[in-house]
Structure formats: structure tokens, C-alpha cells
Amino acid sequence: MESNHFDVIVAGAGISGITSAAAAASRGLRVALVSTGPGTFVLGAGCVEVQEMDRGTPSLEEAINFFRNLTDLAGCGFLGGIGETHYIPTILGSFQTVSLAPFYMWNGEPSESSQVAVVGIKGLSSFDCNFVAERLAYYTTKLGWGSTYVARDIELSTESGTVPGTLQFGNRYDRDLHFREELRDALKPIAAKANVVILPGILGLRSGQSEIEWLQKELGCLLCELPTLPPSIPGMRLFNRLEARLRKVGVEFFTGFPIRQLQIEDGRCKAVLLETPARPLRLSSETLILATGPFSGKLLGAYSAGVNRDLHPVNAAGEVLANNVFAAGAILRNSGARGGNAMAILTGYISGMLAAGVGVQYAQR
Amino acid sequence: MRKDDVSLDNCLKCSDCNTACPVVTAHPAYPGPKRLGPELERMRREGIECDTDWLEYCLGCHRCDLACPNEVNVSELIARAKASHKKTPIRALRDWWFARPGLLGKLLTIAPGISNFSLRLKPVRALMSVFMKITPERTFPAYHKPLPAGLPTTPQSSAEANGSARVVFFPGCFIQYNQPELGCHALQLLQFNGFQPEVANSVCCGVPSLANGNPEEARKRAAANVNNMIDAVNAGARIVTACSSCGHMLKTGFADLLEGDSALAKKAEKIAANTYDIAELLVLQQDAGKFNTQFQPAAAPLKLAYHAPCHQKSQGIGRPWYHLLRQIPGVEIEDLNAGCCGMSGTFGFKEEKYPVSMEVGSELFAAVRASAPQAVVTECATCQMQIVHGTGVKAVHPVNILLNAYKAGARP
């Protein structure tokens, strides 16, 4: 067999593409994940809202459970579930409603007994603790949730000639044990008077559960980390952890070179051509899953007019463009699908399973 | 290489490049590819004077390019600006030499014994530190009698050569002057797999010249190489590299460097289109059912760790060596995937950059120690040097592992 032949090629390394690749790999398929850049992880934290979708959507629960399990194995476990509504603070001092969120954001949910310290870092322009604390206090009072908020500033060392930045702190949290201790010592007096500490996302781009729980244990209080302006450290951490997990289960990564062409013959996509140096790299596969996001759906050209119940892209007349191509994730927004990351996980999971020949159905509303 | 001026406007400031940059990760004072590339480029193009000191700290690893979701040629913007940096006289002299490993190799291999003896002497290294700003922490690689151009010294029998495809092996300076034995091994490996190899009449590929801020020198090397090899390519031969940086340059750099001369640029494109990494070629051979799998049984299991050099990743050919070596009986191989080694050719030799080089490599060193292999396999010679320097673990070129497997069973 050709070396560059795969059971499945997944295009796109966002939440949907990653879920899709993981689902196909979990069924023993040989998977290639082709991407340029790590999706939208750099912009956010990957929280999942299920509210926008009908809870009874077929396969939704199965898909969400699969995703939760995937994140657990990757060391960046998500908490929550379908039908749950939680309120997680944002750096704008508002609350976003989520159903699932990574464990390091989870503790920000307000409750009767929580005394919350919002901690800023002197000189870090992308996180204003006074602003966040004031607004969160306003909302919780208005809604009668009972949490109290205080704003606190800490000072952290920076490398000479630099201003404080989340990327610097995140990298140092990963690589420098002294920095972790410095952060712990700076937070200690604040943590002594609070049971929840909210801080800007700086706890490493690669750290797993144990590296973050270490800090929580040392402080004796709960931590909630909020993504700031790009790069979102918690978002990149989620990507790095998931990528490492996929590599471990044998997914082959082709990173940095866009797909320029699909080779479609007789109603099947035989191969994709990557724009690599010197000459295009040809990857062939039994199945192609397009999880390329809303802005890069142009591979299918103007022919695509949405997807059918099996997630196959179809033309205006409803005819399937290629019977071994599936679409997943935000690319489906062009054909009216809604539901953010929940939809991305659902369609990623279904497409991966369909590629493995497992019958799951996508019921588009 | 993807190169049009529009690419600058493609930058969305998402910072993916900064999170992927090994120097940013290890050394927070470095402003990062986003700033040094697209952001400052706008000012440079307006003729506004910008600070150029940090440009020198770009490793040229191309990880920013691979991380960019919007196809900005980040590293190229930095590489082009590098030439504008004014160096102190000592550093300028040092980098003049570092930009010319071919010349250095020629001189030092006139009497390799004397060169190797002198380069290892403490006082010589102390003097190089003072007068050349070359770190005394590192040892220079040993120099050997260079690999002669032309047909290999162990010729194929006419029966073996019958019907096999002609390939031209581009050795590059390191194989030429420091590891000529590896060059011979590469030729044998090609013969084992049904190719008729010959050694290219070649000069330095030009990567070190570009990295040391001397595109003019790189241009000369590119032109010489193109003129030397175009006839063979026109006659249907393929060019094979075993050094990932040379391979990267032949595939992505020649045509760009020679864009001022359209006839030469055209030839350079043809050369690029016919250049293959040796493992890439062997994988093609495997797909054609012609990969030699006559492995000798291994005396003992062999535990290896694979480090993919940055210039291997930037070629976009997947992981051919990893997959080839996995097929050898008795070999267990782990892909470390632990980032850049930090050596970046001559970068790690520079006294002022040595600490950054080691900081960058620390993640890889930790991964090597955790994996505890009998040897690390990597196709880049300076990655090998850095791994040995940072961990004490043996580092070898995959060509040697595969050739050993044919001859005597897998061993490091």
C-alpha cells in the first residue's frame, strides 16, 4: 500500500477536526490530520455551549461524552454536560453561559459561599482586575447569586527589557520551577482570604492537570483561569494537549501546508494535494473530512450548497459532490448549522464515525 | 517558497507564530516573529529605521511559517531584514567565516590532522573565544578528507546497476568535510535500493550564508550549484540530499535567491522539483515495491528516539525516516516531538547566543533523557551535535541505522 495512503484525511485542526480525527483513530483507522495553524484555539478557551442546540439531537450525548473522555486522556479534562447551564466569568467582567468548560475555568462559577479574589498582574495590560471584579460584583448582586469579589494586584518578575505578557508568563510556568514558586508566593496572601482566585490565563501552554492542580493545592483554594487577548494561553494549552494525545494514538500530522486541490473522480475524492515546497505532496485516502472552518470552505468551490443527512456536501440540486467526503464543524455554518463548539464536536464525532463505517446520523435542524 | 507582498497583509496578529517560536518560548526578551516579521516590515518598507539587534536571534527554523494559519512568510521577512544589521567588527569577521563553511572546510581539510588537533587545544579555543566570539563550551566537529565528486568508490556491478535510476547525491558541507563516511554510506544505501548514485559537483548550499546575514554570498552559491547540476537534471537524474538543511535550501531557496536572473531561476525551479530527501526517495521506492527489506537479524533489540529537524518539517514530506526505521526488525523507535534543538547550524557556536541555544534545546534534552534511548536518530548534523552536547546520548544519522540493518543487523 502507498505510504501516504490513509483511511481518513481530516482537514483542519480546530475542535471539530481534532474530535473527528480522534473518533476515527479510536476505531482503529489510520488518520492524517492536515492543517495550517491551530484553529481558533489561540483566540479562546474552547468552552462548549449546548443551549443553542436541541438537547435531543441524535448522537449529541454520545459525541459530548467522547469529547469529555478525549480531554480527560489529554490531561485537560472538561467538566459539565449536556443539559447543564453554568456561568463562567470573562475578562470583560461578564458571565458566559456554558455547558462544558475545561477544568481550569470551571471554578469561576458564582455560588452563595464564594469569596472571590480577582487577581491582576502589575503591568499586564490585557487583564484589569478592578474592572473585572467591579462588573462581576454588579452582575452577581443584580442576579442575587451571593458571591463577593475583591480586586488584587500582584507583581511578578519579568525578563529585563520586557513588559509583562501572558505568553512570557505561560512559557515560564511551563519551563521554570522558580517562576511557579514565585507565582505561588505572590498569590498566597490573597488566597488566604478567598476561596476562589480568578487570574488571567498564564498557567502554561503545555501544562496538564497535575501542573495546575499543584498550584491549587499549594494555595488551598480554587483557581479559575480566564483567556485574555491572543494568544490565549488556556486555548493553546488545550490544543497542545490534544495534539500530543492524537500523536500518541497514531494520528499522522501534516502541519503548515494548505490543501490546494481535491482530486475528485467518479464521485469520489481520491486524494488531496498539499502545497508543499518543490512539488505538491499527494495524500490519498478512503475518506476525506473537511473541518476547515467557515472562512476556508472554498475547496469545495461554489458547487457546495450545504450538506445532506450524512454530512456529505451537496450541490444546489441536492446531489452529493463526492460520496466519501464529509463536512464537519464551522464550515457547516455556511449552510445554516448553529451551535458553536457543541456543533463542532457533534459533527466532528459523527464524521469520524461515519468514516469508520459506524452508523450515526446527523439530523440538521 | 510562498512569497508575494500580499502575504504581509495576511497577518491577523493572532500570535500563533509567537507561540510556536522556540526562541520566544525559551527567551522571553526576544520580540518574536510577529513583531520582527510582519509588524516591523511595514516600517522597514516605509524606510523607517528599526532596531535590528534581535533579527540575529531568529533561528531560521520556519516554525512560525508552519504555525501561521494565513500563509504569511514570517521567517522570510526576518531573513531578508537580517542583512541590514550592522555587526561589531569581531562578530562581522566571525560571521564572514560562518557564512562560508565550504571555504572553511577546504582550508581545514588540507591537513585535517593538524586542524583537528589545533581546534581541540584549550588555548586555541580560548583565543577563538576572545578574538572570534566563538564559545569555548563547544568542540568543533572533526574534519576529514573530503568526499570526492563523481562516482562512488565502491562501484556497483554492472548487473546491479542495470536498469537502476540515476541519482545525484548532493552532500553539503558537513558530509563533504566532516562526515564523508556518512556520504559513502548514503551512496551504498542508494545502491542497496536500486539506484545508481554519483556525487554532485557541488558547493555550499547557502543556508549558513543566509543565516549569517549574507544573501549575496548565498546567491553565488546557489548559482554555482544550479549551473553544476542542471545538466544531470535535464538528463533525467534526481538530486538526493541527506542533510535536511541542504534539502530545504535546494527545494525552497534557490529560485528565490536567483529571482533577478530569470533563466537561472527557471533552472533553479527545475532543480527544486527534482530534489528529494533520501528518505523521501526510499519511501517512493517502497510504494513502487522496490524498497530493499533484506534486513539482517539484529543481535539485540535497539531502542531509538527520533528527533525531526526543523528543516525536515519545513519540507512538508511527513516523517519518512520514522516510518522507514520502524520496519527494521528489532528496532523500537519513539518520535520525541520536543521542538527545536536550538543549534541552528552556526548559531549555537556564537558566544553571545550560546545560552539561548541551550535554553531552546532544554525541552528536547529533557525528552531525550526521559526516553533513555540507546541512540537519538536525526538527519541534521548540527542537531546531532547539540543533542550529544546537551545530553551525552549518542546521536546518529538514520542512514547509518538502515545501512547497518542491511549489513549486520540494526545497531546504533
The CATH number of whichever domain residue A127 belongs to comes to 3.40.50
Specify if A365 maps to a domain.
no
Q: Max alpha carbon distance in chain B (Å)? A: 65
Q: Is A22 exposed, middle or buried (0-12, 13-18, 19+ CB in 10 A)?
A: buried
Query: For residue A274, what is the domain's CATH number?
Result: 3.50.50.60
Nearest CB among A37, A167, A244 relative to B67 is that of A37
Q: Which three cell numbers stand for residue A49?
A: 455551549
CB–CB of A279 and B273 under 8 A? yes
Nearest-angstrom CA–CA distance, B239 and B375: 29
For chain A, what is the domain count?
2
Give the residue-averaged pLDDT of A108-119: 92
Q: Three-state SS for A160?
A: coil
The residue of A30, A41, A42 whose CB has the most chain B CBs within 10 angstroms, and thus the best one to mutate to test that interface, is A42
Q: Which amino acid is at A317?
A: A
Mutate to test the interface with B, among A3, A40, A43 (most CBs of B within 10 A): A3
Q: Which CATH architecture has domain B158-284?
A: Up-down Bundle (1.20)
Q: How many CB atoms lie within 10 A of CB B148?
A: 13
CA neighbor of A121 nearest in space, from A55, A190, A67? A190
A210 shares a domain with A89 = yes
Closest CA to B285 of A280, A3, A30: A3
Domain boundary among A194, A229, A264: A229
CA B141 vs CA B66, B115, B178, B379: distances in Å: 31, 10, 7, 16
Considering the domain architecture, whether residues A88 and A163 belong to the same structural domain is answered as: yes
Residue boundaries of the structural domains of chain B = 6-82, 158-284, 293-407
Q: How far is B317 from chain A (nearest CA, A)?
A: 7
* Domain annotation covers residue A291: yes
Residues A261 and A204 in one domain: no
**Residues A85, A64: contact at Cβ < 8 Å?**
no
Q: Are residues A126 and A187 in the same domain?
A: yes
Residue A97 phi, psi (nearest 5): -90, 130
**What's the pLDDT score for residue A47?**
87
Of A187, A210, A229, the one marking the end of a domain is A229
- pLDDT tens across the length of chain B (412 residues): 344 566 788 899 999 999 999 999 999 999 999 999 999 999 998 899 888 999 999 999 999 999 999 889 999 999 989 888 889 999 999 999 999 999 999 999 999 999 999 999 999 999 999 999 999 999 999 999 998 888 877 767 665 666 789 999 999 999 999 999 999 999 999 999 999 999 999 999 999 999 999 999 999 999 999 999 999 999 999 999 999 999 999 999 999 999 999 999 999 999 999 999 999 999 999 999 999 999 998 889 999 999 999 999 999 999 999 999 999 999 999 999 999 999 999 999 999 999 999 999 999 999 999 999 999 999 999 999 999 999 999 999 999 999 999 998 777 7
Domain ranges, residue A194: 84-229
Would you call B316 and A252 a contact, using CB atoms and an 8 Å cutoff? no
* H or E element that contains B8: helix B6-9
| Residues B318, A247: C-beta atoms closer than 8 Å | no
Q: Distance, in angstroms, between B244 CA and closest chain A CA?
A: 13
- The type of residue at B232 is A
Q: Please give the single-letter amino acid code of residue B243.
A: C
Q: What is the pTM of this model?
A: 0.95
Contacting residues of B for A158, CB less than 8 Å apart: 28
Do A89 and A194 belong to one domain? yes
Strand, coil or helix: what is B108?
A: helix
Q: Min CA distance, A170 vs chain B (Å)?
A: 9
Residues of B in contact with A252 (CB under 8 A): 318-319
Residues A222 and A274 in one domain: no
Q: For residue A198, give the 3-state DSSP assignment.
A: strand
Answer with the one of A175, A208, A229 that is the final residue of a domain. A229
Mutate to test the interface with A, among B2, B12, B15 (most CBs of A within 10 A): B15
Minimal CA–CA distance to B346: which of B129, B28, B98, B126?
A: B98
Q: Are residues A198 and A246 in the same domain?
A: no
Of B29, B273, B275, nearest to A162 by CB-CB distance is B29
Q: Tell whether A187 is covered by a domain.
A: yes
- Chain B residue with minimal CA distance to A174? B25
pLDDT at site B1: 38
* CATH dotted code for B6-82: 1.10.1060.10
| DSSP structure class, residue A199 | E
Query: Number of Cβ pairs closer than 8 Å across A and B?
Result: 108
Q: Do B28 and A158 touch (CB under 8 A)?
A: yes
> Are residues A96 and A222 both part of a single domain?
yes
The C-alpha torsion from A231 through A165 and B341 to B246, rounded to 10°, is: 60
Residue A32 lies inside a defined structural domain of this protein: yes
Question: Which positions in chain A touch B66 (Cβ < 8 Å)?
Answer: 255-257
Q: Which amino acid is at B263?
A: A
3-state secondary structure at position A261: strand
Q: Which of B302, B280, B300 is nearest to B376 (CA)?
A: B302
- The alpha-helical segments, DSSP class H, found in chain A are 15-26, 60-74, 103-106, 129-143, 166-175, 177-191, 209-219, 233-248, 340-355
Q: Are residues A324 and A213 in the same domain?
A: no
A231 prior amide bond cis, ω within 30: yes
Residues A254, A224 within the same domain: no
CB-CB: which of A39, A167, A254 is closest to B19?
A167
Whether residues A22 and A97 fall in one domain: no
Architecture of domain B293-407: 3-Layer(aba) Sandwich (3.40)
Specify the 3-state DSSP secondary structure of A262: strand
Residue A39 vs residue A291, higher pLDDT: A291
**Does residue B24 sit at the A interface (CB-CB below 8 Å)?**
yes
**B240 near B170, Cβ under 8 Å?**
yes
Q: Which long-range contacts (CB under 8 A, 24 or more apart) does B128-137 make?
A: B129/B351, B131/B90, B132/B90, B132/B93, B132/B94, B132/B97, B133/B90, B133/B91, B133/B94, B133/B350, B133/B351, B133/B352, B134/B94, B134/B349, B134/B350, B134/B351, B135/B348, B135/B349, B135/B350, B135/B351, B135/B354, B137/B354
Q: Are residues A308 and A327 in the same domain?
A: yes
Q: Between residues A113 and A167, which one has the greater pLDDT?
A: A167
Q: What is the pLDDT of residues A45-70, one digit of tens each?
A: 888 887 777 777 889 999 999 999 99
